[in-house]
Structure 1
Amino acid sequence: MGKKIGAVYIGHKKVEFCVWAPFAKSLEVVLKNTQKAIALTKDDQGYWSKSINDVESGTLYKYRLNEQDEFPDPASLSQPEGVNSWSRVVDHSAHSWKDNSWKGRELSDMYIYEVHVGTFTSAGTFEAIIDKLDHLEELGINTIELMPISQFPGKRNWGYDGVYPYAAQDSYGGVSGLKKLIDACHDRGFSILLDVVYNHLGPEGNYISQYGPYFTDKYHTPWGSAINFDDEYSDFVRHHFIQNALMWLEDFHFDGLRLDAVHEIIDRGAKHFLKELSEKTDELEAKTGKKYVLIAESDLNDTKLIKDYSEGGFGLEGQWVDDFHHSLHTILTGEDAGYYVDFGKMEYLAKAFKQAFIYDGIYSSFRKRTVGNDPQGMTPSNFVICIQNHDQVGNRLLGERMAELVSFEKQKLAAATILSAPFVPMLFMGEEFGEKNRFQYFISHNDPDLVKAVQEGRKKEFEYFFHSHSDAVFPDPQAEETFKNSKLNWDFKQEEQKSQILGFYKELLKLKKQGAFDLFKDQNVNAEADEEKKILIVSAGDDNSAITGIYNFGSSSYSEEISDKDNLQVLISSADKKWGGEKEVEDLLNSGKITVPAEAVLIFRS
């Protein structure tokens, strides 16, 4: 079990072709330059393979099934002419890696920055990101997370409609550009993660079912039939996706993977696909001597994902925590539509600050059932939190970012909350300078019926919004303008407030790296909420010092008495004039009181 699938360039104009097609009666590889059709040989597991000479790197090819239809390779490494056309042979040895001394880093040491390649820079390529590493280093980021890059239709897409999991998007720069970016990241001390999608494939250019039972009708996901992880022939489907994950880590030198919506990876077998993936990644670590991290996106609040194998867990390093985002977002904006109805309480934010999960076995009125389990015993570095990400911004109808939804002061308050919390922080590109260009949902499909279905589906999803915002203009996902409007504006330094909030983020990240907020990681941290005043007070201490954070989400200033002003050290105050506030720090410490203005935060050590 477990052949190396795809077109593997061995060297000296020799390629090993291999594809799994258990029901095919015949299978040939067709080389475009010579129009030769060369028969492959089938083994008893359904793999068709053959080593073929006189095939150069860059050769275009397809597979012909049953002497009739021709399709691209489901394990194609490159689709230079798009998702419906020829696959291309890639020679991995063409890139000479320069990062042999790089060993990766633990998730607990990561400060993550989520990037959409196409909109992060004006050029929208892998190599263009290299020019922004100075900015990210100055900010204090050490890890970049790329949204999905597997080949998708057209030239603009979020990436979740990818149909070739092995192929790096050609319009971004393909294999060559991606490897240059990863080398540059490691040379500068940056880790780089990749968002991968193993719960579905996009609809356009999706020919994988022509080869075999890669999907099953036993289960259905929001995107249709589920990928076959536990039905008949599932061993070979699992191998297809596990080999893909290991390829990104070993052949492309990624430092880890973010696994999209794992609650839609449906597997009722004795060993879940995610556990098998985790075990295979461990084996790769032992082989390469490098550290890799696997981070799950899940809305189930189930610690099984991150628990150790010995406790019946899957052994993943971390998971995204929506609860923290939703709690903070609802308090900041007052929004309560949809799933936000389950949040909005100050006590929930206090709970999230202490243990990440709010729904830890309590009833959800939105889902109308009990959700989650108890995260006690898990370390804070198991949880990745954010105040913005591609989903929470882009899946709003208009794609408004936090900077458009809340005041300048609340932006700083949100930044301080996430970066002083004990978990692994993730920023969404541009949030550090208060970007107001909206990040909207965009596609570039070629099938007019599919385009129409996406447009109409998007409108239907947001019918409630149009009822209350009759003047709203629908951002057409297919329109190139929607994509262009989502690009970052890098001229932000001309605006004073954007420079001020960038400075505030830099200071927070510096403090976090220095361990200024480490006491908040203690399981005995005290977090108290005042619902009426909209105040969160977090405190922790040891034998040497204590730290207190006062987070004022209310519209009035908050004061409390202090006994020893002289031994109090302010770590950060969002109301400070140097961050665009209206107060000097000394003004907040008068007459035996400490005062925190409305929509502000003050964190101090004593």
Structure 2
Amino acid sequence: MPNAWTPNLFEVWAPAATTMEVEIDGVRHPMRPARGGWWTAEIEGVDHGTDYAFRVDGGEPRPDPRTRRQPYGVFGPSRVYDHGRFTWSDHDWHGRDLRGSVIYEMHVGTFTPEGTFESAAARLDHLVQLGVDFVEVMPVAPVPGRHNWGYDGVDLYAVTENYGGPDGLKVFVDACHAAGLGVILDVVYNHLGPSGNFLHPFGPYFHEGLGSFWGQAVNLDAPGSDEVRRYFIGNALQWLRDYHIDGLRLDAVHALHDKRAVHFLEELAVEVDLLAASLGRPLTLIAESDLNDPRLVTPRESGGYGLDAVWDDDVHHALHSALSGERHGYYCDFGSLEVLAKVLTSAYLHDGTYSTFRGRSHGRPARHVPGYRFVCALQNHDQIGNRAEGDRLPPELLRVGAGLLLTGPFTPMLFMGEEWGTRTPFLFFTDHEDPELAAGEADRRRREFVDHGYPDWADKAPDPQDKTTFLRSKLDWSELDREPHRSLLNWYRDLIALRKVLPELTDPRLDRVHVDYDETARWLVVHRGSLRVAANLGPARATVPIAPAKVLLGSDEDIILDGDRLLLPPRSLAVLRVNQG
């Protein structure tokens, strides 16, 4: 269970139920018990587009836990949806390898004024011209209300109608593949949203007494967890198989509670590898984790989980704090060029070292891991949106920061609008329909700032429930026609183009990366084979000693190469090739 899909066959797992019914057009149809706590019913006259709901022990009608479509939102009935009715045109798409790639993260609802899959697809030419390889889409599961980041999703097998529903997502993926772009989908398996989650009556989907700031933990290792694990793994396979998605970003895997000998992530990786072999295209799993644990991406035959990559916040923190000067909260151990040099050569600052923010030692060494397995960003939805006012780095800091990121040994990821230095904030927004949740969201947000070490931000954040907060977060595409946005966009394009033609820049071997720096003068030079990436992070002009070389790309027209000296204006960067022979 479940069996091969047909529109008139209804199946649901409800191991503790004494009766199960499927309701269609007000008529309740009894279901038959089957093995393993499953229930089934075959009902004539049902086809694609039929609305239905389940009743557990005569209770209220609830959506199907595996509902493929929720046309009326999270509180309405499910709708039968046949994946086979969609006509794909991506028959020549053979996938994309993560190695050497650049990822672009987007929130569909704020990427365009319309906030739909269709309107996002109309902007793909911008991403092609930028030179990125993957689009990473923030979660698309149904959420309460009209707008949300997506991490309050429920009905995990469905696609929010706010963006265009299941067909809308397929149109977007098809268009991405036609444009040569892979698609990574952000999925959330550590919790479900606080409103519209009706899994509890069906079975033991959640841990009693275990959870996180975001909600109750899912049951991955207690009684009944075999089927719960199948539920989430089946969800992952659905996106990759039925929606032609190329990879998944797994939200906050450190919040997964699993003490079984074979961890959920390892089991998921095995199943995804099997599907990739069957489909004949690469499928990528990327974990978000704050554990600094390379076992996530260590091959299974070497005792790891076998995921493909992991988000690396230490690189972000080192870049951000070195550029901005911020040292509060979780930036307290970052900011020096010594720290920046370490993360550029070792991936993690905290690789067994003491973390002041955590008050304990943290992480383990990862320098042996290929750099492409670390997805690193100068900005992402968390690091912008979890600021009280959703503010971004200014263009003058983005220039040098992007230069270091896009010439580094890791897999770079950009956040929408970063490439032109948009002045649009990315704020935290919700649209809860539950009055209690709506009233309490602002207070919950304030408590989160305090927990993350930013008590001074607690009263600065706008109300997440205010529609204006959402509207303010929409990108302003007219900025591309104005300075300094136009020239910054060209800089990003040039950096990505250079990355694609110089193999030294995509060499993932961290032991081949060397960094010289002057803490006082605030400059550093990153060695990438015969290339040198020289950056001045300070407010004054810097004179950097350099071997005889040629400037390949510079962020400022006032950069001067004078023999064995490189004169860098404030907050500027140059990529050079050292003369050989």
Smaller-chain TM-score bracket: over 0.9
Pick from 18, 42, 46 the counterpart of residue 25 of structure 1: 18
The answer (yes or no) to whether the contact 2:404–2:533 under 8 Å persists in 1 is no
Describe how 1:317-332 pairs up with structure 2 within 5 A.
Answer: 317-332=308-323
Pick from 31, 35, 49 the counterpart of residue 44 of structure 1: 35
2:514 equivalent to 1:526 = yes
Shift of 1:461: 3.8
State the one-letter code of the partner of 2:378. Answer: I
Describe how 1:577-592 pairs up with structure 2 within 5 A.
Answer: 583=558, 585=559, 588-590=560-562, 592=564
Poorly superposed stretches of 4+, deviation over 6 Å: 463-467
TM-score (norm 2): 0.96
Counterpart-to-counterpart distance in 2, 1:462 and 1:275: 33
Shift of 1:533: 1.6
Pick from 393, 408, 412 the counterpart of residue 425 of structure 1: 412
Describe how 1:405-444 pairs up with structure 2 within 5 A.
Answer: 408-444=395-431
Shift of 1:469: 7.6
Report the counterpart of residue 515 of structure 1 in structure 2: 502
2:388 equivalent to 1:397 = yes
Counterpart-to-counterpart distance in 1, 2:457 and 2:411: 37
State the one-letter code of the partner of 1:394. Answer: G
> Once the two structures are superposed, what CA deviation does each residue of 1:347-372 show, in whole Å capped at 9, x if it has no partner?
11111111211111111111111111
Report the counterpart of residue 276 of structure 1 in structure 2: 267
Greater CA drift, 352-361 or 384-393: 352-361
State the one-letter code of the partner of 1:420. Answer: T
Counterpart-to-counterpart distance in 1, 2:134 and 2:545: 41
Pick from 548, 555, 575 the counterpart of residue 603 of structure 1: 575
Counterpart-to-counterpart distance in 2, 1:572 and 1:453: 50
2:440 equivalent to 1:453 = yes
Counterpart-to-counterpart distance in 2, 1:549 and 1:166: 45
Unaligned 5+ residue runs, structure 1? 577-582
> Once the two structures are superposed, what CA deviation does each residue of 1:197-218 show, in whole Å capped at 9, x if it has no partner?
0000001011100111100125
RMSD: 1.8
2:519 equivalent to 1:535 = no
1:181 counterpart SS class: helix
Shift of 1:225: 2.7
The answer (yes or no) to whether the contact 1:258–1:295 under 8 Å persists in 2 is yes
Flag the 1:125–1:413 CA change in 2: closer, same or farther, 3 A: same
Q: How many residues align?
A: 576
Counterpart-to-counterpart distance in 1, 2:547 and 2:478: 46
Report the counterpart of residue 254 of structure 1 in structure 2: 245
2:431 counterpart SS class: coil
Counterpart-to-counterpart distance in 1, 2:118 and 2:468: 23
1:69 counterpart SS class: coil
Pick from 543, 552, 572 the counterpart of residue 571 of structure 1: 552
Counterpart-to-counterpart distance in 2, 1:369 and 1:248: 38
Flag the 1:329–1:231 CA change in 2: closer, same or farther, 3 A: same
The answer (yes or no) to whether the contact 1:324–1:386 under 8 Å persists in 2 is yes
Pick from 180, 190, 205 the counterpart of residue 181 of structure 2: 190
Unaligned 5+ residue runs, structure 2? none
Report the counterpart of residue 339 of structure 1 in structure 2: 330
Counterpart-to-counterpart distance in 2, 1:429 and 1:374: 31
2:167 counterpart SS class: helix
Shift of 1:141: 1.2
2:74 equivalent to 1:93 = no
Flag the 1:299–1:473 CA change in 2: closer, same or farther, 3 A: closer
Counterpart-to-counterpart distance in 2, 1:257 and 1:468: 35
Report the counterpart of residue 81 of structure 1 in structure 2: 72
Counterpart-to-counterpart distance in 2, 1:600 and 1:36: 69
Counterpart-to-counterpart distance in 2, 1:357 and 1:4: 45
2:93 equivalent to 1:64 = no
1:113 counterpart SS class: strand
> Once the two structures are superposed, what CA deviation does each residue of 1:527-554 show, in whole Å capped at 9, x if it has no partner?
123222222211243xxxx111111111
The answer (yes or no) to whether the contact 1:119–1:487 under 8 Å persists in 2 is yes
Shift of 1:519: 7.3
Flag the 1:52–1:110 CA change in 2: closer, same or farther, 3 A: farther
Describe how 1:109-508 pairs up with structure 2 within 5 A.
Answer: 109-217=100-208, 219-403=210-394, 408-462=395-449, 474-508=461-495
TM-score (norm 1): 0.92
The answer (yes or no) to whether the contact 1:153–1:204 under 8 Å persists in 2 is yes
